[in-house]
Amino acid sequence: MWSLRSQWIASVLLATACSTPATPAPTPAPVLIGALNLAVTQTTVKTTVCRSGWTATIRPPASYTNTLKRRQLPKGADLKAYEEDHLIPLALGGAPRDPVNLRPIPLDRAKKDDVVETRLHRQLCAGTITLTQAQLAISQVKAGE
């Protein structure tokens, strides 16, 4: 049986443990998904991704992306219902042909992503965010899909 003193010590310890604020869990660091185009850096954004028409010069042909899409989708899937999407968009410094940076997504999802990608691209080219910030932001959007 516990003595009165032991009960008092136990109640003090319990009260102290319950009143001590818990240490908050650390916020996980954002993770970059996809693959990057090594030609695009913070110092080259004005001559690469922010130059009008630049993405057209590096975009892989449909023959490449359609072949990749066929390999990635289950047999019998409607290929026309999907777009081969860059996880890190070309306009934000994504690798054009790296399969790690490409995956098929439904067309309606691709249109929603395009809105976010365009906003981030505008902010990047206006200098209100950095290339790294833009890439991490789009990674968070696409990781949450």
Q: pTM to 2 decimals?
A: 0.78
94 and 36 in contact (C-beta within 8 Å)?
Answer: yes
The 10s digit of each residue's pLDDT in 116-139 is: 999 999 999 999 999 999 999 999
120 and 92 in contact (C-beta within 8 Å)?
Answer: yes
The yes-or-no verdict on residue 40 having pLDDT over 90 is yes
Q: Report d(CA 17, CA 37) in Å as an integer.
A: 51
- The residue type found at 45 is V
131 and 40 in contact (C-beta within 8 Å)?
Answer: yes
Structure tokens at 137: 């932001």
Calculate the average pLDDT of the chain. 88
For the chain, the straight-line distance linking the first and the last C-alpha, in angstroms and rounded, comes to 57
Give the model's pLDDT for residue 22: 63
